[in-house]
Amino acid sequence: MAEWGTAVPPPVCQGARYHRPKPGKPEQHHIWPKSWGGPHPLTPATWNIVWVYLCGNCHGSVHELLRAYHKWDDWNGCPPPWSERLRYPRRVRALAKQGFDKWVEAGRPPIKEGG
């Protein structure tokens, strides 16, 4: 399997090891979403991992968990409870955490509508 963040799509989704049904065409997911202030893939800021390839289900799951991280951070400054995070595959949890951490490191820029 290719490393996370490579520009060449791997043969499988990088969000979950096993899928039922078989995943469709991979989608690009920006580790630090652009709507959260993340860099465009063609800027000099691409020294960090810019995107990974995910199936549609895993892509939606990462964004859902990112929103949960943001909600819990607003409420009490902590991550979502483990019982909520455990519903997602390990790789999806890692990608959401990585994106959230990039957003925090950048000083929590405003999130655009729909992000």
> Is pLDDT larger for residue 57 or for residue 11?
57
Taking only the tens place, the pLDDT of each residue in 15-62 is: 887 877 777 777 878 787 878 877 766 655 554 456 788 888 899 999
Q: Per-residue pLDDT averaged across 72-85, rounded?
A: 89
Burial-class residue 42 by CB neighbours within 10 Å (0-12, 13-18, 19+).
Answer: exposed
Beta bridge partners of 30: 51
Q: Residue type at 78? A: C
How many other CB atoms sit within 10 Å of the CB of residue 107? Answer: 7
The pTM assigned to this predicted structure is: 0.78
- Percentage with pLDDT > 70 across the chain: 77
My answer on whether omega of the bond before 21 falls inside 30° of 0, hence cis, is yes
Q: Which structure tokens are listed for 88?
A: 């997602």
